[in-house]
């Protein structure tokens, strides 16, 4: 697929395999999410850095927050926006509850972060919002994606660059990624 990068670097794959382990606790999980975001960021943030473009990192709340510091370690001058979305547990449809983006958004390269790209509903909605607010140069970074979500995001927004740490097998009947890593937000923040 055009505009889609699926990482194969052994260091990224090794760290993702530790994320999947149920025995990996909150502290280590959080650190790994940040490290993987930084490693992926070397590729995803290369063009804006070289071109000297202003950047905005936009995490999808909550789980996307876990990736922000990894990107900021590479691009400390980046501004940070936030998009609040939660997935309805029954319909799996995303609902927006917050959106605040740095201006002028149309002049920035926007890196949207979310560790999980499952059905793709949240990612498509987030990019829809960013475009409505005037965003033009958009990249999307997910640590784990399901084929269904990757296809849906790419088809809905063929103009954006998508970076995926690992492409997993499928979604289960609850629209969770298999094998996946469980609920990313709960594992980063220690909630249940």
Choosing among ligand PRP, ligand URA, none, which partner's interface includes residue 176 (Cβ < 5 to 8 Å by kind)? ligand URA
Residue 51: CB minimum distance to ligand URA, A: 33
* Residues in contact with 23: Cβ distance below 8 Å, sequence separation at least 6, in sequence order: none
Among 118, 124, 125, 141, binds ligand URA (CB under 6 A): 118
Regarding 67 and contact with ligand URA (CB under 6 A), the answer is no
Q: Which is nearer to ligand PRP, 86 or 133 (CB)?
A: 86
Q: Which is nearer to ligand URA, 59 or 185 (CB)?
A: 185
Closest CA to 115 of 146, 158, 147: 146
Among 157, 183, 188, 190, binds ligand URA (CB under 6 A): 183
Cα 145 off chain centre by: 9
Cβ contact 137:104 at 8 Å: no
Choosing among ligand URA, ligand PRP, none, which partner's interface includes residue 138 (Cβ < 5 to 8 Å by kind)? none
Regarding 180 and contact with ligand URA (CB under 6 A), the answer is yes
Q: Which residues of 106-141 are buried (b: 16+ CB within 10 A; e: fewer)?
A: eebbbbbbbbbbbbbbbbbbbbebbbebebebbbbb
Q: Which helix (H) or strand (E) holds 184?
A: helix 184-189
Regarding 125 and contact with ligand URA (CB under 6 A), the answer is no
Active site residue 186: yes
Among 67, 126, 177, 188, binds ligand URA (CB under 6 A): 177
- Name the DSSP class of 16: H
Choosing among ligand URA, ligand PRP, none, which partner's interface includes residue 94 (Cβ < 5 to 8 Å by kind)? ligand PRP
Which residue in 20, 24, 30, 183 is the catalytic one? 183
Q: What angle do CA 69, 72, 75 make, to 5 degrees?
A: 165
Cis peptide before 179 (omega within 30 of 0): yes
Query: For binding to ligand URA (CB under 6 A), which residues are involved?
Result: 116, 118, 176-177, 180, 183-185
**Which residues have a catalytic role annotated?**
87, 91, 183, 186
């Amino acid at each position: 697929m055009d505009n889609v990068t699926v990482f194969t670097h052994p260091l990224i794959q090794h760290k993702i395999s530790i994320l999947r382990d149920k025995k990996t606790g909150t502290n280590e999980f959080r650190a790994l999410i940040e490290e993987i975001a930084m490693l992926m960021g070397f590729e995803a943030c290369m063009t804006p850095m070289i071109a000297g473009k202003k950047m905005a990192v936009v995490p999808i709340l909550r789980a996307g927050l876990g990736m922000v510091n990894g990107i900021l370690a590479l691009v400390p001058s980046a501004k940070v926006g936030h998009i609040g979305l939660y997935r309805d547990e029954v319909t799996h449809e995303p609902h927006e509850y917050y959106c605040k983006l740095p201006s002028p958004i149309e002049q920035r390269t926007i890196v949207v972060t979310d560790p999980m790209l499952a059905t793709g509903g949240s990612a498509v909605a987030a990019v829809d919002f960013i475009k409505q607010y005037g965003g033009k140069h958009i990249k999307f970074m997910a640590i784990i994606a399901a084929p269904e979500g990757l296809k849906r995001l790419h088809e809905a927004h063929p103009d954006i660059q998508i970076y995926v740490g690992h492409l997993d097998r499928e979604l289960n009947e609850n629209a969770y990624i298999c094998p996946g890593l469980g609920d990313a937000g709960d594992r980063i923040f220690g909630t249940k």
